[in-house]
Amino acid sequence: MHSCAKVIVHIVFSTKYRSNLIPQNVIDNLHAYLAVCCRNRGCEPFRVGGTENHVHIACALSRTVTIAQLVEEIKRTSSIWMKQFKSNFGWQTGYGIFSISQSHFDKLIHYVATQAEHHGMISYEMELTDLCERYGLEYIETEY
């Protein structure tokens, strides 16, 4: 038997100091670039979304890459790419990653796709606090 796996993850991270460093005219291209970064690591992207100060990535975690390797590669390469548009661009040090069951997949895709509307009602900090609470994690403020 060959090895097989389907681990769906929801990755969340913000810009340095949670500053609005992602220009509106670049945001869709950044999301597409992040999807390519995932695909290049063997992690099939399902949806990428976010706002001017953070991103959400719904993807399958490859069985040959660690979480840390994936997130480090995504953040490193996308930061280099973003500096062509914003010279002071950078991502925060930390990130959140949450496992998602197949039964919640459609909800996750909708959630990631509607980030702009979602953040008209709730801040990124409240969103991350809520995610941590739902997963039984203590929210600890990330150093930048």
- In angstroms, the CA 36 to CA 45 distance is 8
Other CB atoms within 10 A of residue 27 CB = 17
The pLDDT value recorded for residue 143 is 56
Q: Which of 29, 34, 53 is nearest to 44 (CA)?
A: 34
Please tell me whether the overall predicted TM-score, pTM, comes out greater than 0.85 for this model. Answer: yes
Residue pair 13/94 in contact by the 8 Å Cβ criterion: yes
From first to last of its 144 residues, the chain has per-residue pLDDT tens of 688 889 999 999 999 999 999 999 999 999 999 999 999 999 999 999 999 999 999 999 999 999 999 999 999 999 999 999 999 999 999 999 999 999 999 999 999 999 888 777 788 888 878 888 888 887 776 655
Looking at domain 7-114, its CATH architecture is 2-Layer Sandwich (3.30)
Q: What residue spans define the domains of the chain?
A: 7-114
The pLDDT value recorded for residue 142 is 60
Cα three-residue angle 7-8-12, rounded to 5 degrees: 130
- In angstroms, the CA 41 to CA 62 distance is 8
